[in-house]
Amino acid sequence: MLFRSKAVAELLSKPAIDRAALDALRGEQLRLADETMRRMTTALADAAEVLTPEQRVTLAGRMQKMRGGRHWM
């Protein structure tokens, strides 16, 4: 996971390395990423419920194309 570089740089620039602060930052970033993925999953499921099976197949294909064939989630 990529940390906010400014926050990491600030922590690493101090005279002493605060491992607890680095870990807290990591935890916050994980929480935010999880919240984002939860919202995206909910929105995707909401949208998929109104599509036909054929439209969902088309949507899945477009998502794969946008991600370069990598797994979306």
Q: State residue 24's pLDDT score.
A: 94
How many Å apart are CA 1 and CA 25, to the nearest integer?
Answer: 11
pLDDT tens per residue, range 2-61: 556 888 999 999 999 999 999 999 999 999 999 999 999 999 999 999 999 999 999 999
Instruction: Please give the Cα distance from 41 to 60 (Å, whole number).
Output: 13
73 or 24, which is more confident = 24
Is residue 63 pLDDT above 90, yes or no? no
Sign (positive/negative) of CA torsion 65, 66, 68, 72? negative
pLDDT of amino acid 1: 45
What's the CA gap between 36 and 57, in Å, rounded? Answer: 24
Give the separation between CA 37 and CA 32, rounded to whole angstroms: 9
